[in-house]
Structures are given as structure tokens and as C-alpha cells.
Structure 1
Amino acid sequence: MYLSLLRRYLPTSLLLVLSFVPARLLAAPKVHTVTLGPSRRAPYVPTDATPETKSDEASTLRVRALYVDDRQKEWTTGEIHDVTDRTFTVRRALRLNDALPTDPAPRWVWEPGPWLMVDRISGHITALHLPDFDSVVSNVVWFRDYAAYCGIATTARGGLFAVVAQLGARKAVVQKKIGEWPQSNHFIPVCQLASWQRLPMRVTIQPTGGQATTYDVFGSSSLVEEGDNSDEN
């Protein structure tokens, strides 16, 4: 019935083109299901711990599995941040092999890793490369599509930096040196959690034991790319 209607109203040339288009391209885009599993505790020792401080600093890391269509894609830690109604960020949790070359078997340890951006509709997961981000030093505080934290410069300039990064932007919105790095016997945490203000948009970043500095953040248009549904996952 539908074929006869198409033949009646569509040109023959268009029907020939449609006949060669794969059926999967004509079908409606697939909507994926993104879920987080239950939280569980995992042993965790900070990478900058020493034999003298290990027993005091040893703690646990809460980790959760990230699923797309009931398939586990990543391990995560901490709370998610809703950037938009379909996109959120969450920190990745890494399970690393801590075995020495002389150890007879793998020795698995957990570490907080970089940040991920997840699209609830397409199921696409993007690894975020935040400027000067350091997995030990940087405690990111999100507001809208902005991330504020202390970072470590790995270039020749070196040092501890106050950083504000916007998703999708090539350069940091704020990148100001606030101290030297590395530091012997540094505070833990190295910086206090950033404090955001909405109107006007400002953020205050303070190294632990140092002076707090407030930065104006200009720009209000989100650069988050939310493309069409993708069936890649």
C-alpha cells in the first residue's frame, strides 16, 4: 500500500535513490539509556602519600559504574553535575595495576581520574581535557558549563594556577598563577573548594593557607555541543 502511494506521488528518480539508502539510515534515531549503578566503597590511597603518612591518609573512594544501554562503559566517582537537561559531567574512577615488576601478580588500586561529559540521549561519552588539570591537586567545582579549580602547569613556566575552564572553549577563561609548584610539605588539600557567585558571575579560589582571590567570569553562552542522536555506542 505504502509503496504504491510512493510510486504515485514521487518521481521515479527519487524512488531509485531511496531504494539504495540503507534501512538503518531511514529509521528513527535510537535513544540510549544512561544510568549509574549503586555506590560502593573501594580502597584508596592518595598518590602523594608517603610511608610515614600512608596509614593516616588511607581512605576509601566511592565508585559507581556508568552504563549505556545496560552495558558498563566506565567507573565513576563523586556526584554528577547537570550541565544541561541532557548533558552531565562526572569524574572517572581508574583501576590501576600498582604491581612492581618483581611482584608475582597484579595489584589493583583505585584512583580518581579525569572528568567525563555524558550525553543522556546519544549515550556518547567524551573525555574532558581541562587545562592544567591534575588528578591529585584539582578539586573541580562546576557552575553551568564552567569548571573552577587549582591546576598545575606542566610547561616551562610551572607553578600552581587558579583555573576556570568552559566546556568547548579552546582556552581557559581564567589562568592565573597563585603559587609555586612543586611544594615540599604542601597542604592537603592544596586548595579550598572554589566558591561561585551567580550575578555578577564570579568565582573565588584560595590555596590552603594562602590568600583568596576573586575572578570575574565573562560570557554566558554555552559551548556544549549536543548533536543528533548517535548509534555508535
Structure 2
Amino acid sequence: MQTLRSAPVLLLLFACVLPPGPAIAAAPKIHTVTLGAFRKVPYTPPDATPDDKSDESSTLRIRALFVDEHQKEWTLGELHDVTDRSFTVRRALRLNDALPTEAVARWIWQPGPWLLVDRTTGHITALHLPDYDATVSDVTWFRDYAAYCGVAPTAKGNLLAVVAQLGGRRAVVQKTIGSWPQANHFIPVCQPAKWQRLPVRVTMQPTGGTSATYDVVGSVSLVEEGDNDE
């Protein structure tokens, strides 16, 4: 009499030799971006005089920037939400101010450039704003536009009214508003820019000078927010 083998055993063996199917795609990792508490650090402005001893001129209020609980940068001042997932914040730099003849490092704090931070990916991008000068430029943000006074990188130099848009290669506004450098100039060099929504306009004024209003024409939000591929 012929003996029949159990079919489930054969099916099980057959399944074992089949190539594996496509792996289930892992869910993208969501990162956590946070800012620590403010603390004050010593600061000496480049144009400071011996009489400049006020608390505001001799200190900076900085706080740490964390991604997944790992500190990535030191930041300065308030952040600006560009979109619902990205923001800009100014970087605080700790520089070695020691001369070549000094054997010991001399660390000082200085205001630095601006950063663009993606809350979802945790990616941090250094922004290269046109004609930006860390000692002159106080940026006022609106949407993805930055308005500030800049310094032209020329031999004679000029003080400029600048409006830059994130993602743009050139400044949206770039107008000469004075000479630079200036002896005994005002601090701050320019007043905070004043924005208008409809139509989009910005008013800028060098301290002690005449204000001017500029129409701002550009695309809405050229910020590239890529998918998280981690």
C-alpha cells in the first residue's frame, strides 16, 4: 500500500526556499529640536569704550540648541518661525582671541551668523545672507525675508539696506544708504526694520538718518524642506 505524506510539511519546506519578499519600509525618524534656558556670558562689543559698562552692552544672553538631547550649537536671541516645521535663530560663537605670542587660549563670546533649523529632520543650515556683517546687521524677519543693514565688501565700502529671501541667490532689495566705515557712528547702526504685509513693504532707517520704504517683490517661501530620509 502506498503511503501519502502530509501536504502541510511539503508546503512548509517549499516556503522556506522562496526568496524573501520586500522589507516593510521603516517609518521615518522624527527628531526632537529644543532650546535650553537663557544664560548670560561676558561680551565686549568691537566699538566698546571704557565707559560702556552697562549690563546690556557687556553681556550676551545665549542658550543651547539641542537635537535629540544632543547639543549642536549655542544660539543668541529669539527664534523666528519661517514655516510650521522650520525656524531661524542666530548663532553665538565662542572664539579663541589669543594672540600668536600667547600660549594660553583666550575664549570670548561673539554674535555670529544665522541658522535655519528643520524641526522634523533636525538638520541645521548656516545661512549666508548677502552683505551681512555680524557687528552691524540686526535682522528683522518677516515670513522668509530678512531685512537688515549690511556692509558692501568693497575697498570704499558702503552701508546698505538689504532684504534677502531664503533660497534666493541675490538680495531682493540692496540700496546704498550711507558710507562705511563711519567714525563715531551710532550704536546700533540702524533702527529695526518695520514690515508691512499688504503690499509687502519694509521701512529701514540708519540711526540718525532718513528712513526709506522699499517694495519687496519675490516668491512666497523658497525654503526647501526635504523629506526625512533617515
TM-score bracket for the superposition, by shorter chain length: 0.7 to 0.9
Any idea what SS the aligned residue of 1:66 has? strand
1:200 Cα deviation from its structure 2 partner: 1.2
How many residue pairs get matched? 215
Amino acid at match of 1:68: V
Following TM superposition, by how much is the alpha carbon of 1:48 offset from its aligned partner in structure 2, in angstroms? 2.6
TM-score if structure 1 supplies the norm length?
Answer: 0.85
Distance 2:109 2:137 in 1: 17
Distance 1:219 1:104 in 2: 51
1:40 aligns with 2:39: yes
Where in structure 2 are the equivalents of 1:93-104 lying within 5 Å? 93-104=92-103
Q: Does 1:203 align with 2:180?
A: no
Q: 2:164 corresponds to which letter in structure 1?
A: A
Structure with greater helix percent: 1
Give yes or no for contact 1:194–1:206 (8 Å, CA) kept in 2: yes
Separation in 2, partners of 1:86, 1:109: 32
What is the match of residue 106 of structure 2? 107
Letter of the 1:178 partner, please give it: I
- Which residue is 2:4 aligned to? none
> Aligned runs of 1:53-64 on 2, under 5 Å?
53-55=51-53, 58-64=57-63
The alpha-carbon deviation at position 98 of structure 1 amounts to: 1.4
Aligned-partner Cα distance in 1 for 2:105–2:34? 30
Looking at structure 2, the residues matched to 58 and 173 of structure 1 have their Cα atoms a distance apart, in angstroms, of 32
Within 2, Cα distance between the matches of 1:222 and 1:157? 34
Measure, in 1, the Cα distance between the counterparts of 2:127 and 2:209: 29
User: Looking at CA atoms only, which structure, 1 or 2, has the larger radius of gyration?
Assistant: 2
* Cα distance in 2 between the residues matched to 1:230 and 1:135: 34
Q: Report % sequence identity.
A: 69
Alignment gaps of 5+ in structure 1: none
Aligned equivalents of 2:229 and 2:105: distance in 1? 37
1:173 lines up with 2:172 in the alignment: yes
Give 2:225's aligned residue.
Answer: 226
Contact 1:190–1:208 (CA<8 Å) still a contact in 2?
A: yes
Any unmatched runs of 5+ in structure 2? 1-10
In the alignment, the residues of structure 2 paired with residue 230 and residue 93 of structure 1 have an alpha-carbon distance, to the nearest angstrom, of 29
Q: Distance in 1 between matches of 2:46 and 2:190?
A: 17
